[in-house]
């Protein structure tokens, strides 16, 4: 138990360092974060902005969760990998997730045995790390589809591109409230300096941070925040595209009370929407928020929820949250099912 607490604190410090140094918990450069928008012709200033939120680095988070689950399942601690990162920083690797993946892909992993990491686990970690960029493309595609849907709907918006600030949700999650307050006030000032009055986001977690958390820490917070499903109108499609099961994200269903609009949008696009057991405001959590404190418990929860979703008879699973997409994909990775996990914008944008 003491080791578990120690490991959590080490991970919290790791995330804090990355958030405050790089502006996001994964340590990704602003240029890379905004790369999904290249070629879309999005303007970069305006009172209404599209906010990409956690989708930007969720591919890295997905790879990190798989690795942490593998490490924990083998009776090791995530701090073991961070120890390796610390020992080879002199080679130029940054202390963040990107630096960790670079090491995991490199010949340096052969020295894992010096830290009592079994060779078969080293090989698995190398494979997962080598697939991180491919996972990133999944979430970049979701963001591109989201922005294009808004453009097609005639909604006037801008995207701050490399100037988009992260909400700092990782600081809040780990209880670093003093750091979060300072960070949030800096983000609010930046948004106001850019003339932002309204935010539209496909990410209900980041949206909740703005809508519910920021007003508690930022005096006079006055930016309106909407989820993308709120601003879109259902189509009148006569085509039939098959069955899908919709997983209500906790943040969207419980914080925002949005449950019917996503279903209406999917039905309008021609899909037959099936409700799983435990739906709408009684949705079952898929393991979010604790994935890096308790990866084994989080992935187990994702597998339980995925099994529940697949019990409806369709393997097409749709949700509307970056963390839910990530967790259901990771659950599927370890569960070995044939589930196809979609963000709602991927289907609405077809």
What's the mean pLDDT in 35-46? 96
Show contacts of 222-226: CB within 8 Å, 24+ apart. 223/188, 223/191, 223/192, 223/196, 223/197, 223/198, 223/199, 224/197, 224/198, 224/199, 225/198, 225/199, 225/201, 226/198, 226/199, 226/200, 226/201
CA distance 340 to 350: 16
Domain ranges of the chain: 232-348
Q: Which of 79-93, 211-225, 310-324 has the lowest mean pLDDT?
A: 79-93
Residue 214 or 130, more confident: 214
Q: What is the mean pLDDT of residues 87-105?
A: 71
pTM beyond 0.85: the answer is: yes
d(CA 71, CA 121): 8
Mean pLDDT within 208-229: 97
Tell whether the model's pLDDT for residue 88 goes beyond 60.
no
Q: What is the pLDDT of residue 292?
A: 74
DSSP letter assigned to residue 252: I
Instruction: State the DSSP H helix or E strand holding residue 246, giving kind and residue range, or none if neither.
Output: strand 243-246
pLDDT tens column, 222-236: 999 999 999 999 887
Q: What is the Cα–Cα distance from 79 to 96, expressed in whole angstroms?
A: 13
pLDDT: which is higher, 238 or 149: 149
| pLDDT at residue 204, as a whole number | 97
User: Would you give the distance in Å from CA 344 to the centre of its chain?
Assistant: 14
pLDDT digits (tens, 9 = 90+) for 315-340: 999 999 999 999 999 999 998 888 99
If you average pLDDT over residues 29-57, what whole number do you get? Answer: 96
Q: Which CATH topology does 232-348 take?
A: Rossmann fold (3.40.50)
User: Tens digits of per-residue pLDDT, 143-180?
Assistant: 999 999 999 999 999 999 999 999 999 999 989 999 99
What is the mean predicted confidence (pLDDT) over 179-188? 97
Q: What is the pLDDT of residue 194?
A: 97
């Amino acid at each position: 138990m003491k080791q578990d607490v120690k490991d959590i604190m080490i991970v919290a410090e790791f995330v804090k360092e990355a958030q405050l140094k790089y502006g996001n918990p994964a340590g990704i450069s602003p240029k890379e974060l905004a790369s999904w928008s290249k070629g879309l012709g999005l303007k970069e200033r305006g009172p209404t902005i599209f906010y990409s939120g956690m989708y930007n680095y969720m591919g890295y988070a997905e790879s990190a969760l798989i690795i942490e689950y593998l490490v924990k399942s083998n009776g090791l601690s995530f701090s073991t990998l961070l120890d390796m990162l610390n020992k080879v920083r002199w080679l130029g690797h940054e202390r963040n997730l990107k630096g960790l993946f670079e090491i995991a892909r490199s010949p340096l992993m052969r020295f894992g045995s010096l830290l009592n990491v079994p060779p078969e686990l080293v090989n698995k970690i190398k494979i997962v790390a080598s697939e991180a960029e491919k996972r990133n493309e999944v979430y970049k595609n979701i963001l591109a589809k989201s922005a294009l849907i808004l453009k097609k709907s005639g909604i006037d918006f801008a995207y701050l591109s490399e100037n988009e600030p992260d909400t700092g949700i990782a600081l809040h999650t780990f209880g670093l409230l003093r750091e979060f307050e300072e960070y949030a006030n800096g983000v609010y000032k930046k948004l106001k300096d850019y003339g932002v009055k309204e935010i539209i986001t496909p990410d209900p977690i980041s949206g909740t941070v703005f809508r519910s958390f920021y007003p508690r820490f930022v005096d006079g917070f006055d930016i309106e925040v909407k989820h993308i499903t709120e601003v879109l109108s259902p189509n009148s499609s006569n085509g039939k595209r098959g069955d899908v099961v919709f997983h209500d994200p906790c943040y969207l269903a419980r914080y925002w009370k949005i449950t019917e609009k996503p279903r209406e949008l999917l039905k309008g696009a021609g899909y037959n929407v099936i409700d799983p057991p435990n739906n709408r405001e009684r949705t079952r959590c898929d393991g979010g928020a604790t994935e890096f404190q308790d990866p084994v418990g989080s992935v187990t929860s994702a597998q339980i929820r995925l099994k529940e979703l697949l019990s409806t008879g369709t393997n097409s699973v749709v949700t509307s949250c970056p963390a839910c997409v990530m967790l259901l994909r990771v659950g599927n990775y370890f569960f070995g099912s044939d589930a196809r996990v979609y963000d709602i914008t991927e289907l609405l944008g077809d």
